[in-house]
C-alpha cells in the first residue's frame, strides 16, 4: 500500500506543442513579403534591429491595442521569419515570450534602406543568442523603461511623447571612446523637452565603477559643448541611497561638475518613468528640491530647443563599424484607414 503517493501536480509538465510551420527564406518568400508587411510590421522589425529584444507585453505597449491583437500578428510574423521568439527558463511560472529579429525581417530592412544585407552586421545566431546572454535581463529592463514611456505617449489626448530613443550599440558608435550609456532618449512634454542618457543599474555593478563613468560624461560634454543630463535607475531605494553618496563624491572630484547633471530613481518608487520619482544630485549649497517629474528637470537644467531627432551630443565623429540602419522613430506609425470601413 502506498502511504505517500506523489501528488498529481508534481507529474504535470509542459504539454508537447506541435511545431509551427515556418517559411523558408528564399527569394520567392522575400518577394511575397512585399505585399504582406504593413508599415507597423516594418517599424517593429526596425525597432528589434535597434533594441535587440522585446517581450510580448513591451510590444503591446509599443504599437498594439491589446495582447490578443499582438499575439495574432506576431504569430504571422513568426511564420514568415520576420521575427523569431523564445522563452527563457524561470524557476516558477512561465516566462513571457521574447521576440528578436529574424532573417527575412533583416533582409527587408536592409533593402528598404538601400544597403547590402551582409553589410548591416546582422547574424541570426547572434540575434537569437541573446536568449543565453547574461545581459538579457538588463536589455529587457532598459527596453521596458522606454516602452513604458511610449505607452504614455500613446494615451488619448497625451501632450507628451518620447521623440527619440537610441540603443546602447548606436550610442557606442557615436561616442563609445568616451562613454557608453545604456540608452539615449528625448522626452517632450508641455512644450518642454529633456534629452538624457540612461544608466540602468541592476544592483550587480560595483558603485565605484558606476560613479567612475561620470568622468566620461564630463569629457563628452566638454568635447561637444552640450550638457546632457544623466538619469540613473537603480533597483531599490536602499541601493539608490548608497549610489547617491558614491556619485556625489565622484561629482565633487570633477573639474567641471556642472557639465554632468545627475538624477536618480529606484524601481520600487511609485509612478511611471515620467512621474515625480527623479531625485537630482545637487551641490551642497543648493536647496534639496525633492523628487521631480521628468519634465521638471528642465527647470534645473534648461536645454536649448533642438530640432530633429538627432542627439545634440552626436557631433562627436562616429566610430567605424557595420553599416547602421536608420534609427526608428520610437512612436509607431499611424494606422491607415481601412479599405473596408463603412462610409458615413
pLDDT of residue 24: 75
Rounded CA gap, 69 and 79, in Å?
A: 16
For residue range 100-128, list pLDDT tens digits in order: 999 999 999 999 999 999 999 999 999 99
Task: Tell me which of 80-84, 174-178, 208-212, 273-277 is least confident.
Answer: 174-178
For residue range 155-205, list pLDDT tens digits in order: 988 889 999 999 999 999 998 889 999 999 999 998 899 999 999 999 888
Question: C-alpha angle 202/51/176, rounded to 5°?
Answer: 75
Q: Average pLDDT, stretch 34-38?
A: 94
Rounded CA gap, 34 and 229, in Å?
A: 42
Nearest residue to 276 (alpha-carbon basis) of 259, 299, 260? 299
- Phi and psi at residue 87, to the nearest 5°: -125, 115
The cell 497625451 sits on which residue? 158
Pairing of strands 230-234, 262-266: parallel
For residue range 305-342, list pLDDT tens digits in order: 655 545 545 444 444 455 568 889 999 998 765 444 44
Question: C-alpha angle 246/251/254, rounded to 5°?
Answer: 135
Mean pLDDT of the chain: 86
Amino acid at each position: 500500500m502506498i502511504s505517500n503517493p506523489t501528488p498529481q501536480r508534481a507529474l504535470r509538465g509542459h504539454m508537447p506543442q506541435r511545431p509551427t510551420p515556418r517559411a523558408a527564406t528564399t527569394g520567392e518568400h522575400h518577394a511575397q513579403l512585399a505585399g504582406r508587411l504593413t508599415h507597423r510590421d516594418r517599424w517593429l522589425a526596425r525597432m528589434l534591429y535597434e533594441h535587440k529584444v522585446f517581450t510580448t507585453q513591451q510590444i503591446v505597449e509599443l504599437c498594439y491595442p491589446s495582447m490578443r491583437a499582438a499575439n495574432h500578428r506576431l504569430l504571422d510574423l513568426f511564420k514568415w521569419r520576420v521575427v523569431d521568439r523564445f522563452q527563457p527558463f524561470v524557476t516558477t511560472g512561465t516566462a513571457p515570450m521574447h521576440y528578436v529579429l529574424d532573417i527575412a525581417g533583416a533582409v527587408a530592412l536592409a533593402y528598404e534602406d538601400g544597403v547590402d544585407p551582409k553589410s548591416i552586421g546582422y547574424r541570426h545566431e547572434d540575434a537569437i543568442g541573446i536568449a543565453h546572454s547574461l545581459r538579457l535581463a538588463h536589455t529587457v529592463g532598459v527596453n521596458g523603461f522606454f516602452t513604458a514611456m511610449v505607452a504614455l505617449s500613446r494615451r488619448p489626448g497625451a501632450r507628451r511623447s518620447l521623440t527619440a530613443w537610441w540603443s546602447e550599440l548606436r550610442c557606442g558608435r557615436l561616442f563609445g571612446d568616451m562613454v557608453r550609456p545604456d540608452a539615449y532618449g528625448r522626452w517632450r512634454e508641455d512644450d518642454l523637452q529633456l534629452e538624457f542618457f540612461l544608466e540602468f543599474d541592476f544592483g550587480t555593478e560595483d558603485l565605484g565603477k558606476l560613479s567612475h563613468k561620470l568622468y566620461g560624461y564630463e569629457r563628452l560634454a566638454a568635447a561637444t559643448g552640450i550638457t546632457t543630463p544623466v538619469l540613473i535607475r537603480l533597483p531599490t531605494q536602499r541601493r539608490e541611497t548608497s549610489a547617491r553618496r558614491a556619485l556625489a563624491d565622484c561629482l565633487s572630484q570633477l573639474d567641471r561638475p556642472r557639465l554632468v547633471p545627475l538624477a536618480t530613481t529606484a524601481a520600487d518608487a511609485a509612478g511611471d518613468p515620467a512621474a515625480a520619482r527623479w531625485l537630482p544630485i545637487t551641490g551642497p549649497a543648493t536647496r534639496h528640491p525633492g523628487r521631480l517629474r521628468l519634465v521638471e528637470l528642465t527647470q534645473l537644467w534648461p536645454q536649448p530647443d533642438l530640432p530633429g531627432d538627432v542627439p545634440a551630443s552626436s557631433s562627436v565623429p562616429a566610430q567605424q563599424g557595420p553599416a547602421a540602419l536608420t534609427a526608428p522613430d520610437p512612436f509607431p506609425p499611424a494606422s491607415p484607414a481601412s479599405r473596408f470601413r463603412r462610409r458615413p
